Amino acid sequence: MTASLPKPESLSKERLRLWLRMLRVTRQVEAALREKLRLEFDSTLPRFDVMAALFREREGLKMNELSKRLRVSNGNVTGIIDRLAEDGLVERIAIEGDRRATLVRLTADGRDAFTTMAAAHEDWVDALLDGVSAEDAHHIGELLHRLPADTGEQRQ
């Protein structure tokens, strides 16, 4: 027996159920990742996210660019950068000609630490989504690409 499609008038209800499922799974995976980062690396998910953004930009990023990429306030990023700098994982570099701006980038130790964390993170996600085949993962990813990427935009 094949699954029946929702009637047009119940489409909004089906989409609501989909959203709630996506939210539940996201929260469960995120909670597991937060716990694993805390236990295995004495780290946090926001710290991991900052390191990931800096890892992708080898030359570093201005603090305001980092905040924009992570969609968080400058204050939130500043606190994380302060702690990463104390740990020797990032360095701050003054930008010549702009006394207000600072460039931040991972140190060699920071790149090494992130590489180790990222490999563990990938393994954890793989284990958490163990019931999803490669084909299903690809298909779900393709379906999710149909959704608006920015909450401020509506698809035409």
Q: Is 50 exceeded by the pLDDT of residue 40?
A: yes
Q: What pLDDT score was predicted for residue 156?
A: 40
Tens digits of per-residue pLDDT, 92-139? Answer: 998 888 878 889 999 999 999 999 999 999 999 999 999 999 999 999
Contact 69, 53 (CB under 8 A): yes
Integer angstrom CA distances of residue 14 from 7, 130, 145: 9, 25, 18
Residues 56-79: b if buried by 16+ CB within 10 A, e if exposed: eeeebbbbebbbebbeeeeeebee
| C-alpha neighbours within 13 Å on the C-beta side of residue 144 | 9
Q: Is 80 exceeded by the pLDDT of residue 154?
A: no
* Per-state percent for the chain, helix, strand, coil, to nearest 5: 65, 10, 25
Kindly report the number of other CB atoms within 10 A of residue 147's CB atom.
Answer: 8
Q: Is 50 exceeded by the pLDDT of residue 155?
A: no
